[in-house]
Structure 1
Amino acid sequence: MNNKAYATETLLLAHYGKNDQSGVGIVYNDERAIMNLTFNPSKETKVIIHGYKTTEGKFWVHDAVSELLKHSDYNVIVVDWKRGAEMVYPTACANARTVGAEIAVLLTKLQQLRGANLMTFHLIGSNLGAHIAGYAGERLRGLNRITGLDPSAPYFEYTDPRVHLDRTDAAFVDVIHTDIGRSFDFDFGMRSQIGHVDFFPNGGIFQPGCPSSKISGNLPGGIMELLNPGRHPGREKFMCSHRRAESLFIESINTKCPFDTFPCSNANELQRGDCLYGSGQIGRLGFYADKALGRGIQMLETTAKSPFCSYHYQVELSGESSINGRIILTLNGMKGSTGPVDLTGENKLLTPHQHFKTVLKSNVDIGMLKSLDVKYVETSKIINVAFDDDWKLDSFKIFQGSTQRTYNFCVKGSIVTSRTSKSFTPSRTCP
C-alpha cells in the first residue's frame, strides 16, 4: 500500500448572502486559483478537516459549514483528503502528516498572495483531522486556534507531542474528548490532556444514548462495518461516542444554551455536583471555548439526544426518616420550569440524616429559582413492610451552576407522602 498522501482537494465555501452558499475547488498549491478565490482577508476563516474515512465525515462537515455560515459571514474552507483517509488506518495516519503540510502551504500562500493573517484562522479537525490541524499549526507557528474533536488515540496516545495535536500548535487549543473508553474496551479518542482546555463531557468515557461498551456484541460487527463504505447500524453504534464530539461542537455554534463546563477531576465528582462551585473557572465547551475563563480539565453533563446542552443544578438533601424509592423534582424559575426530573433513576435507600448529592440537568433555562416541587415514589409493597409512606424531610439545598447561586429551603420536619408532590420556596434564613 502506498504511504504517500494524495493531493488535497481544498474547497472554499464562500458566503454570498443569507441563504446562499457556493464554493470553488482548488489544489492547495495552485496560486492562480488562490488569487481568484472570493476569499476576504478581513474576515475570520474557519478550516474544517474531516478524519479517518469520509462516509460519516461528510455529514458533520456539511452541518458544520451550514451552522458557521448561519452564525457569521466567515471564510469557510473544507479540506477534502478522502483518498488519503480511505486507506487502511496505519496508512491514513502516515498520510495525515502530509495533509497537514499541504494545509500549511495553502495558508501560507493565502498570507503571501491575499494578505491573510494567521491570527484570524481557526482549524477544526475531527479524529485524525485533529492531528492534521496540529501538523499544520506546528509548521505555521502563529495560528490563532485549533479545535480537536475527539482526536484519534491509536498510534497517537502517549507519544511525543510532535506526533499528535498539542497546545503548542496554536495560540489556543481546545479539545473535546468523548470516547476515551474504559480498561479493556475499544476506545477511539485520546484521554491525555493535550490542549489549553480539555473538555470531557459526561466524564469522556462514553456518551448518554450510546453503548456503554463496544465489547459485548458490538465489537466484531462494528469493526467489520467500520472497514466498509456506507452507513450501517452497527457502525453507528460502534462510533456513537466518538462522533458525539462533532455533534456537540456543531450545536454549540448557534444554541442559546451556553454549554457551561466546570473544573472537575473525575466523573464521580461531576455526578455529585461537587465541582460546580467553579467561580472564575467556568468554561464553555465548543465554539465559544476561547471566550470563557475555564482552562485545564473541564467537564459537563449532557442529554442523550439533541439538544445536548444542559443547565446544571446540584441538589443536596437529607431526611429524618428512612426511605426506599425514587425522588422526583421540578424546579420552577422566573423564565420557566424544568418539568419533573427523576433524580435517582432507580429506587434509592436513604437513612436518617444521610446526605444525598447529585446533579440535576435540564435543557430549560429557568432563570432565578422561585420554587421546587418534591415528589417521593415509594418502592414495591414488599418493602412497605419496613418503610412508611411518609418521608420526613430534614434539609434541601439547590446550587445553580450557571449563576453560582445557592438556594436554601426550610423543609425541616415537613412530610412528603408517597406519590404526592409538595412545593417549597427558597428562604434566606430558616428558623
Structure 2
Amino acid sequence: MLRLYFFISLMCLVKSDPDETCPSFTRLSFHSAVVGTGLNVKLMLYTRKNQTCAQVINSTVFGNLNMTKKTTFIVHGFRPTGSPPVWMEDLVQGLLDVEDMNVVIVDWNRGATTVIYNHASSKTRKVANVLKEFIDQMLVKGASLDNIYIIGVSLGAHIAGFVGKMYNGQLGRITALGYREPLGNIDFYPNGGLDQPGCPKTILGGLKYFKCDHQRSVYLYLSSLRENCSITAYPCDSYRDYRNGKCVNCGIPQKESCPLLGYYADNWKEYLKQRNPPMTKAFFDTAEEKPYCIYHYFVDIITWNKNIRRGSITIKLKDKAGNITESKINHEPAIFQKYHQVSLLARFNQDLDKVSTISLVFSTGSVIGPKYKLRVLRMKLRSLAHPERPQLCRYDLVLMENIENVFQPILCPKLQM
C-alpha cells in the first residue's frame, strides 16, 4: 500500500560539467521562462561523505550512493522565474543531519522553468519516467523499495505520486507538500489548510502573496528537522472541532501518541495500520515565524453567573524572568453557563515552564451596549505538551468586560480533574 504523508525515460540525464568541481542546481533566468525550456533531468547525490559537494549520478553511474541505506529524493515544482528553490540546501542538510542516508535532488528546472504552468505540468510524467528508470537500476544493484522515500513539492508532489503508482504503492514513503485535498494515509492541515499566519492577506503583499501560503508547507517540514521544534498535530474530523478542543485525546497519557508533522510522521504508521481505512486528517496551528511551534494548554473555566454569558477569553502568561506569551481564544464565542465547566484550547507561541502570573480578559465583542461581568468560580490552566506539570488554579474571580485581571495562580489540588 502506498504510504503518503502530508505545519506528490524519454529524456537523457544531464552529466556533470567536467569543469564544475561541485555541481549545482540549474540556474536559469526569467528570459528562459518566457521563451520556454526543454526538459532535462539532473540527479545530484549528497551523502555524509559529500555533504556539501554534490555528485551527478545516473542509471549507470551511482557515485557514493549506498544501496543498503535509505534514499530520499527531493523533487521541486513549478519554477516561473528559473531560480533555484531557496529552501533546497537547508532541506538537504537537515535530512543528512537527522539520518545517514542518500539524498538525491531531482533537478528538472529545464522543464519546470516557464511562465505557463500547463507547460511545466505536462512534463511531470516524463520526469517520473526518468526516476522510474533510475530506481529500477537501484533495485538491480540491491536496493529495496522500502528504503525509497520521495519528498515532492508542488508539481514535484504529482511526480512523486506518478512514481508511486508505477510501483503499485510499494515505495517506502511519499511526502507531498502542497496539495489541499486528502490523498494520503495522514494529511496535515496547518491552521486549517488555508491562509497561513505571517503571509500577506492581499495582493499588496506582492509576489509573496502568491507563494507564501503554498511554500509554508516546505518550511514547516524543515522545522521538523530541528531539535528545538516538534510540531504536534491532532487527528480530527474538522478544524473547528480541533479549535474547540475536541480532538486532543492523543495527548493524554495512556492514549495513543499524537502524530508529529514532517520527517517523524512515519513514527505514527503503527497507529494507521489499526484504522480502517488507514487514513486520517490531522490539524494544528502554527506561529507566524520560524520555527512555527505552538504550545497547547487547556483553560478550564467554571462560572456562576445567573444568566448565560457568551464571549471570548484572552489569556496572558508571564514567568519570573519577565517572558510573556498571549493567546486570544476568539475563533467563536464560548458559552458560559452557571456551574458548567468550559474547556478552552489556548495556543501560545512560547512554552513557559514556571508561570508566575496570569491575566484574563473577557469580551463579548460588542462595540456598543452594556458591559458584562463574568463571575469565575474556578479557573484552571493545564499543559497538553507537558501533562506532568502541576496544574495552576485561581478561585472566585470577577472579570469586568474588556478589563484585564492579573493574578498569581496557586497549585490545584492533586485530586482535582
TM above 0.5, one fold?
A: yes
Q: For residue 121 of structure 1, report the CA deviation from its aligned partner.
A: 1.7
Assess, with a 3 A threshold, how the Cα gap between structure 1 residues 249 and 312 changes in structure 2: closer, same or farther: same
Contact 2:327–2:347 (Cα < 8 Å) also in 1: no
Contact 1:326–1:346 (Cα < 8 Å) also in 2: no
Letter of the 1:195 counterpart: G
Q: For residue 325 of structure 1, report the CA deviation from its aligned partner.
A: 8.0
Unmatched 5+ stretches in structure 2: 1-33, 273-279
Match of residue 317 from structure 2: 330
Contact 1:51–1:128 (Cα < 8 Å) also in 2: yes
Q: 2:197 matched to 1:208?
A: yes
- For residue 180 of structure 2, the aligned residue among 190, 194, 200 is 190
Assess, with a 3 A threshold, how the Cα gap between structure 1 residues 377 and 268 changes in structure 2: closer, same or farther: closer
Deviations 1:39-88 (A, max 9, x none): 12232211100011165662121220121122233211000011211232
Q: How does 1:111-122 map to 2 (within 5 A)?
A: 111-113=139-141, 115-122=142-149
Contact 1:52–1:128 (Cα < 8 Å) also in 2: yes
Q: How does 1:228-267 map to 2 (within 5 A)?
A: 234-267=206-239
Distance 2:147 2:73 in 1: 11
Deviations 1:167-193 (A, max 9, x none): xxxxxxxxxxxxxxxxxxxxxx332x2
Deviations 1:4-50 (A, max 9, x none): 97231111123227xx5211223x44x1x23xx01122322111000
Match of residue 23 from structure 1: 54
Q: For residue 196 of structure 1, report the CA deviation from its aligned partner.
A: 0.9
Q: How does 1:149-164 map to 2 (within 5 A)?
A: 149-150=177-178
Assess, with a 3 A threshold, how the Cα gap between structure 1 residues 410 and 337 changes in structure 2: closer, same or farther: same
- Equivalent pairs, count: 362
Query: Which SS does the other structure have where 1:124 is aligned?
Result: strand
Match of residue 340 from structure 1: 325
Match of residue 274 from structure 1: 246
Q: How does the TM-score come out when normalised to structure 2?
A: 0.74
Match of residue 14 from structure 1: 47
Structure showing greater relative contact order (alpha-carbon pairs closer than 8 Å, 6 or more residues apart): 2
- For residue 52 of structure 1, the aligned residue among 78, 88, 97 is 78
Q: For residue 304 of structure 1, report the CA deviation from its aligned partner.
A: 1.1
- For residue 128 of structure 2, the aligned residue among 100, 105, 112 is 100
- For residue 375 of structure 1, the aligned residue among 337, 360, 367 is 360
Distance 2:248 2:303 in 1: 23
Q: For residue 320 of structure 1, report the CA deviation from its aligned partner.
A: 3.1
Match of residue 224 from structure 1: none
Query: Which SS does the other structure have where 1:275 is aligned?
Result: coil
- For residue 99 of structure 2, the aligned residue among 47, 59, 72 is 72
Contact 1:326–1:377 (Cα < 8 Å) also in 2: yes
Letter of the 2:208 counterpart: E
Contact 1:248–1:308 (Cα < 8 Å) also in 2: yes
Assess, with a 3 A threshold, how the Cα gap between structure 1 residues 284 and 386 changes in structure 2: closer, same or farther: closer
Q: How does the TM-score come out when normalised to structure 1?
A: 0.72
Unmatched 5+ stretches in structure 1: 151-188, 222-232
Assess, with a 3 A threshold, how the Cα gap between structure 1 residues 376 and 284 changes in structure 2: closer, same or farther: same
Q: 2:175 matched to 1:147?
A: yes
